A and B are shown apart, each in its own frame.
Chain A
Amino acid sequence: MHKGWWQRKGKLLVSPMKQRSFGFKKASATTEYKSNLTFLLGATIVSVVLAIGLISLIWTPYNPISYFSKHILQGPTSAHLLGTDQEGRDELSRLMAGTWITLYAGFFATAIGIFFGTLIGIYVAMFRNVISEIIMRAGDILLAFPALLIATLLAARYGSSTVTAMAAVGIAFIPYVMRVTRVAATKTYNSDFVLIARSYGLGKLYIAAKHILPNIVSLVTLQTTLLFSVAILSEAGLSYLGLGTPPPSPAWGVMLSDSSNTILTNPLLVLWPTLAIALTILGFNLLADAMVHRLDKRSK
C-alpha cells in the first residue's frame, strides 16, 4: 500500500519563474510541509473533540442534566470550572456531554445528505433516461426548500427533536451532494478504463461499485467534512428557533440558545459553547483544506 499522501515528502512544486508582484517570496519548498501541518492540526483538534466526546460517555465531573437550584448561574469556581447555567447545572459537564450529541447530530445530517446524494448522483451519472432527468429537476426544486423550511414543517408535524432538525438539514444537503457527485461520477464513467469495462459487458452495478465509487471516494470524504461543519452550525441555529434538540439535552446548540437568554447577565455561558463549536468546525475545515490540497495535487 502506498503511504498516506500527507506522509509523502520530497516532491515539490517550484514555481518556474521568480514572482515579482507584491514582493512575493519565491515559492518555497515548504508548501507540502505546511499542508501536512494543516492536516496534523486538523486531525489533532478533531481527535481531541472525539476523545472528549468518548470520555463524556463514561465520565463527566457532574451529571450534565442534574440541577442544583442553589447553584444557579455561578461564575467559574474551583468546584465548577466553567460555572453553572440557569438551572444550576455544571457547564463543563454539559459541554463535554454535548460533544457527543453535537457530533452525533452532525453525523446524522451529513450521513443522510451524503448517502442519498451520492447514490442518486451516481445513478444520474450512469443512466441517462427520463427518470434521471426528473431526478435532476426535482433536485433543482428541492434547492428552493431551505433546511429551515423543512425543519419547520417536520417540527410542526412531529414535534421538534434532534432527528427532525437533522433530517431536515440532511434532506437539504441532498441536492448539493447529488450535483457534485454527478459531475465527478460522469467524468469517471466517461473515462477510458470504464469504457473498457463497459465494452466487456460488465454490469452497471458492478461498474458503479468497483470503478466509480472508489474514484469519487475522496471527493465524498471532502464533502462529508465540509457538510459536517455546516450541519453543526445549522443545528445551533435551529435549536435557537426551537426547532432542534429539546432543551434538557446538553447539545451545544441548545446550550447556546439557552444561554442567549441570559447573555446580558452571564455572557460567559455563551462563550463556552461558541468556542466549542468554533474549534470543532476549525478542526474539520482544516482537514478539508488538507484534503483539497491532496485532490489538487492529484488532478495535476
Chain B
Amino acid sequence: MAGAERNKNFEATYLGNGYKKPSGKALVLLFALVAFSVLAYNVSSGRSAVKLISNKATTAKLDNVIVQNKSYPHLGSRSKKILVIGSSVFPPTLDPTANAAQAIDEVIDYNVLQHLVELAPNGTIIPILASKWTVSKNGMTYTFTIRPNVHFSNGDLLTPQDVVFSIDRVLHDSAYPYRDIFDVKSAHVASKNQVVVQLIEKSWSFLFDMAAYSNGVILDPATIKSLATDPIGTGPYVVDGEVNNYSISLGLNHRYFGALPNVGGVEFRYFTNPSAEDAALETGQINVIDSLATPTDASLFSSNHRKYVLISGLSNGKVQLTINNAVGPFRNKLVREALEYGIDKQQVMDIAAGGKSIVIGTDSVPADPYYINLANYYQYNISKARALLNQAGYPNGFSTTLTLPPYYYAQLAGPAIQEELAQIGITVHIKQVAWPLWLSQVFEGGDFDLTIIDHAEARDVGNYANTKYYWHFADAAQVAKQLASANAAPTKQGWIAGMHKILKEITADAVNVWLYVLPVMEVHDKGIIGLPKYGYSESFDLTHVSYGGKLAKNLIKEGYSPR
C-alpha cells in the first residue's frame, strides 16, 4: 500500500540510524557543553557590549532607513528624517469607527482623523476643527463654530455638513464601538460655519467624550468606503501604506491647516518581542518606543542619558483585580474587603509597573476632573484581612480561580496577587487565557472569579451603574441614580461632588480591587521633541513632533515633551 515505503522511512528514522556507533564522545561532549556555557556566558553578558555601539553606527543605520524608504514619493527633499516608532500591537484595521482596538486610535486618531475638540497629552480639552463653542444654559445644546479653510487630505473642503454627517453616522451605524456613550440626540447645520448639537440629557463629559472616543472623528462623506485602508482626514498626516502585521507609514498632509511637524514622515513598526524592539532601538532601526513593554527594560536606556530620553507618564488605564460580585464567597462584602486589606497594592505596582506609577484605590486617575485618591481607604493589613475572612465564615480560607488575559502587567501582577492572597488563606489557581477567550468567557459570559485587567477607557465610572456589567455589582441601580443626579448638577462643583460620592461608595463596597494607574513609558533618541508625555488620550499624538528645534511654551504646558 501507499504508506508502506514511508513506513520504511520512519522505521529508519526512529530506529535511529543516526545514533549508530557512538564513539568515545562522553567526556568530550561534557567538555563541549562546558565550553558552550562559558562562551554563552561571555556573549550573553553583552550588557556592556550593547552600550559600546558608537553613535556613528547608529546614524549610519538611520540614513540607510531613509534612503531605503521609497514609500514617500511626494516628499520634495530627503533632508527630513522619517521618524520610526516601535509599537507592539498591529491595528486590525485602520477604521477607528469599526473596532475598539486602541492600536487603531494610536496611529490614526488625531494624526490622520481629527475631532472638533481633542485631548492634549495632559488631558485638557483643546479646540481643533471647532474654533470655538458655546453651551446653552441647560447644558443640552452645544453650538460649534467650524474652523474655516480646513481641507481634507484629498482636497475636499471641511464643511458643517461633513460634521453633521459624521455625528449622524454614529447615531445610525450600530457598529460604532463607543456608541453607548454617545449622548447626542440630533445635530444640524445652523449657519454657514456653525453646527448645533442637541443632547439627550445634560452631560458634564460630552466634550470629553467627543474628544476621547472615535465617536468624535470628522470624516469626509465621499471617502467612507475606503476608511479601513485609507482613512482621509484633516490631520497633519496621511496614510501612505501598510504592510500587514509589520508597519504603517504616514506621510505629511501638505493640505494640513496648521504647521506641519518637522519630520519627513512617520513609520509605525510593530514588534511582538519586547527584547527585539529594544534591540531595534539600540541599533537605530527605530527611533522611538511608544510604550516599553517591560518596566525593567527602562534601566537599559535610563543609564544612557546621552543617547536616549526616557519619559514616563500616567494614562487613563486603571489596572484592577476585578471581582465577580455574584459568585461564591465574593458575594459577601466582608470577603471582598478582606481582599482589599490582604493585597499590598504598592508591592504589586512595584512589580508589575516597576514602581513607575501610583496606587489609586478607586476608579479614577489623576487626569479626571473628579480625581480622588482612595489608596489609603484600605490599609494593607493581613491580620485584619484574616479577621474579616473569619467573620465571613471562612476561617480556613477558600480556593478560587484568577483568570489572566495575555498582557504583561497581568502576567506580572497575577503571581504577586496569588502569593499575597495565599498569606490570608485564599488559594488562587491561575488560569491563562488568550484575549478572545477572555472577552467571551470573562467579559461576555461573566464566567470567572477574579481577573486582572486594565480598564483603559477614561471616565468609565458609568460601568458601575450598569447592572449587567461583568463584575455584577449588586448596587448598580443605585449608582445609576446617583450618576444621573450628578450629571444633572447645575455646577461643575456639584458634578464633581456627586462623582466623589459614587467613587467613595463603590470603594466602600469593595466592588473591585483597584491597583494602580497603567504607566506609559516612552523611550526615544535624543533630539526628538514634541512627543506626548502622558497616555491620557488613546492617540500617540504626533502633531507637534520635530527633529530638533524648540517647543512653544503652551505646548509644553499641554504635555508635549520638550526633549
Direct contact of A and B (CB under 8 A): yes
Asked if residues A156 and B436 are in contact (CB atoms below 8 Å), the reply is yes
Does B22 contact A293, Cβ atoms closer than 8 Å? yes
Alpha-carbon distance between A159 and B300 when the two chains are bound, in angstroms: 33
Task: Pick the residue among A66, A219, A268, A286 that contacts B45 (CB under 8 A).
Answer: A268
Residues in A neighbouring B175, C-beta threshold 8 A = none
Q: Are A262 and B275 in contact (CB under 8 A)?
A: yes
Q: Is the interface of A mostly helix, strand, loop or mixed?
A: helix
Give the docked Cα–Cα distance between A290 and B19 (Å).
8
B373 within 8 A of A: no
Indicate if A155 sits at the interface (CB-CB under 8 A). Answer: yes
CB-defined contacts of A180 to chain B, threshold 8 Å: 10-11, 13-15
Whether, in the assembled complex, B328 has its beta carbon less than 8 Å from a beta carbon of chain A, the answer is: no
A32 to B457, CA, bound (A): 70
**The residue from B14, B29, B275, B282 contacting A222, defined by CB atoms under 8 A apart:** B14
- A262-B296, A268-B44 known; A34-B22 Cβ under 8 A: yes
Interfacial chain A residues near B436, Cβ < 8 Å = 156
Scan residues 67-101 of chain A and give those whose CB is less than 8 A from a CB of chain B.
Answer: 67, 69, 72-73, 86-88
Are A30's CB and B24's CB within 8 A? yes
Chain B 22-58 near chain A by CB (<8 Å), digits 1 or 0: 1111100110010001001100111100100000000
A223 contacts B47, C-beta separation under 8 Å: no
In B422-445, the 8 Å CB interface with A consists of: 430-434, 436-437
Which one of B193-201, B207-215, B410-418 is at the interface?
B410-418
A69 touches B432 (CB 8 A): no
* Beta-carbon contact of B3 and A140 below 8 Å: yes
Query: A176 contacts which chain B residues (CB < 8 A)?
Result: 10, 14
- Contact, CB under 8 Å: A261 / B432: no
Docked CA distance A299–B294 (Å): 56
A86 touches B294 (CB 8 A): yes
Count of chain A residues near B, Cβ 8 A: 64
Contact with B along A43-78 (1 / 0, CB 8 A): 000000000000000000000011101001100000
Q: Counting CB contacts under 8 A, is B419 at the interface? A: yes
Contact A262 B297, beta carbon cutoff 8 Å: yes
**Which A residues are CB-close (under 8 A) to B19?**
288-289, 292-293
Asked if A247 and B430 make an inter-chain contact with CB atoms under 8 angstroms apart, the answer reads yes
Which chain A residues lie closer than 8 Å to B33 at the CB level?
278-279, 282
Q: Does residue A31 face the partner (Cβ distance < 8 Å to B)?
A: yes
Which segment of A103-111, A194-202, A269-277 sits at the interface?
A269-277
A69 to B300 CA separation, bound complex (whole angstroms): 19
B137 contacts chain A at the CB level, 8 A cutoff: no
- The interface residues of chain B lying within 8 Å CB-to-CB of A268 are 41, 44-45
Residue numbers in A under 8 Å from B29 (CB-CB) = 41, 282, 286
Partner of B278 from the list A156, A159, A264, A286 (CB cut-off 8 Å) is A264
Q: Are A288 and B415 in contact (CB under 8 A)?
A: no
Asked if B155 is at the interface of the complex by the 8 Å CB criterion, the answer is no
Asked whether, in the complex, the Cβ of B10 is within 8 Å of the Cβ of A41, the reply is no
In the complex, chain A residues whose CB is within 8 Å of the CB of B11: 179-180, 183-184
Provide the bound-state CA to CA distance between A249 and B77, in Å.
55
Contact B45 A267 (CB under 8 A): yes
- Chain B nearest CB: distance from A293 CB in Å? 6
Complex-state Cα separation, A222 to B44, whole angstroms = 35
Which listed residue, B41, B44, B414, B433, touches A159 by the CB 8 Å rule? B433
| Distance, CA A86 to CA B294, complexed state (A) | 9
Report if B347 contacts A (CB, 8 A). Answer: yes
B275 lies within 8 A of A263 (CB): yes
Choose among A35, A179, A267, A290 the residue that contacts B46 (Cβ–Cβ < 8 A): A267
Q: Is the CB of B299 within 8 A of A265?
A: yes
Q: Evaluate contact between B47 and A265: CB separation under 8 angstroms.
A: yes
Report the Cα distance A92→B415, complex, angstroms: 18
**Given the complex, which residues of B lie within 8 Å of A286, measured CB to CB?**
26, 29
B45–A155 touching, CB < 8 Å: no
Q: Which of A30, A156, A279 contacts B434 (CB 8 A)?
A: A156
Shortest distance from the beta carbon of B218 to any chain A beta carbon, whole Å: 38
Q: Knowing A34-B23, A136-B3, say if A179 contacts B10 (CB, 8 Å).
A: yes
Are A219 and B15 also in contact (CB < 8 A) when A31-B21, A41-B30 are?
Answer: yes
Q: By DSSP majority rule, is chain B's interface helix, strand, loop, or mixed?
A: helix
Taking a contact as CB atoms under 8 Å apart, the answer to whether A179 and B275 are in contact is: no
Q: Which of B7, B10, B293, B433 contacts A261 (CB 8 A)?
A: B293
**Interface size, chain B (Cβ < 8 Å):** 63
Could you tell me if B275 and A261 are in contact, using CB atoms closer than 8 angstroms?
A: yes
| Pairwise interchain contact B22-A38, C-beta atoms closer than 8 A | yes
Write the B339-357 contact mask toward A (1 if CB under 8 angstroms, else 0): 0000000010011000000
Chain B residues, CB < 8 A from A67: 351, 415-416, 419
Q: Which residues of B contact A34 (CB under 8 A)?
A: 22-26
Within the complex, what minimum Cβ distance (angstroms) separates A107 from chain B? 19
B349 to A, closest residue via Cβ: A69
- Chain A residues near B415: list those with CB within 8 A: 65, 67, 87, 247-248
Any A CB within 8 A of the CB of B70: no
Interface pair A248/B10, CB less than 8 Å apart: no
Q: Say whether B16 contacts A222, CB under 8 Å.
A: yes
User: Is B6 positioned at the interface, with any CB of A under 8 Å from its CB?
Assistant: yes
Q: B241 near A: Cβ within 8 Å?
A: no
When A34-B22, A184-B11, A246-B432 are in contact, do A69 and B347 touch as well, CB less than 8 Å? yes
State whether the Cβ of B192 lies closer than 8 Å to any Cβ in chain A.
Answer: no
> Shortest CB–CB separation between residue A150 and chain B, in angstroms?
15
Q: Is the CB of A265 within 8 A of B351?
A: no
Determine the residue in chain A with the shortest Cβ distance to B14.
A180
A-side contacts of B1, CB under 8 Å? 133, 136
The yes or no answer to B273 lying at the interface (CB within 8 A) is: yes
B219 at the interface (CB under 8 A from A): no
The closest CB in chain B to the CB of A246 belongs to: B432
B74 / chain A contacts, CB cutoff of 8 Å: none
> Nearest A residue to B272 by beta-carbon distance?
A241
A134: interface (CB < 8 Å): no
B50 touches A264 (CB 8 A): yes
- In Å, the complex CA distance between A86 and B409 comes to 12
The answer to whether the Cβ of B279 comes within 8 Å of any Cβ in the partner chain is yes
- For residue A113, give the distance in angstroms from its CB to the closest CB of chain B: 12
Is B22 touching A183 in the complex (CB atoms < 8 A)?
no
Q: Are A35 and B22 in contact (CB under 8 A)?
A: yes
Which residues on A sit within 8 Å (CB–CB) of B3? Answer: 136, 140, 179
A156-B431 contact in complex given A35-B22, A264-B47, A293-B22, C-beta closer than 8 Å: no
In the assembled complex, the Cα of A219 lies from the Cα of B21 at a distance in Å of 17
Decide yes or no whether A296 CB sits under 8 A from chain B.
yes
Q: Does B406 contact A (CB under 8 A)?
A: yes
**Residue of chain B at shortest CB distance from A267:** B44
Contact with B along A216-233 (1 / 0, CB 8 A): 000100110010000000
Q: Which residues of A contact B (CB under 8 A)?
A: 30-31, 34-35, 37-38, 40-41, 65-67, 69, 72-73, 86-88, 133, 136, 140, 155-157, 159-161, 176, 179-180, 182-184, 219, 222-223, 226, 242, 246-248, 260-268, 270-271, 274-275, 278-279, 282, 286, 288-290, 292-293, 295-296
Q: List 25 A-B contacts (CB under 8 A).
A: A34-B24, A37-B26, A38-B25, A38-B26, A67-B416, A86-B294, A156-B434, A159-B434, A183-B11, A247-B414, A247-B430, A247-B432, A248-B415, A261-B274, A264-B47, A264-B275, A264-B279, A265-B297, A267-B47, A271-B44, A275-B37, A290-B22, A292-B19, A292-B20, A296-B21
Closest 8 interchain pairs by CB? A267-B44, A248-B415, A246-B432, A292-B19, A159-B433, A69-B350, A180-B14, A179-B10
10 other A-B residue contacts (CB within 8 Å) besides A73-B296, A160-B433, A265-B299: A34-B24, A41-B29, A159-B437, A180-B15, A183-B11, A261-B293, A265-B300, A289-B22, A293-B19, A293-B20
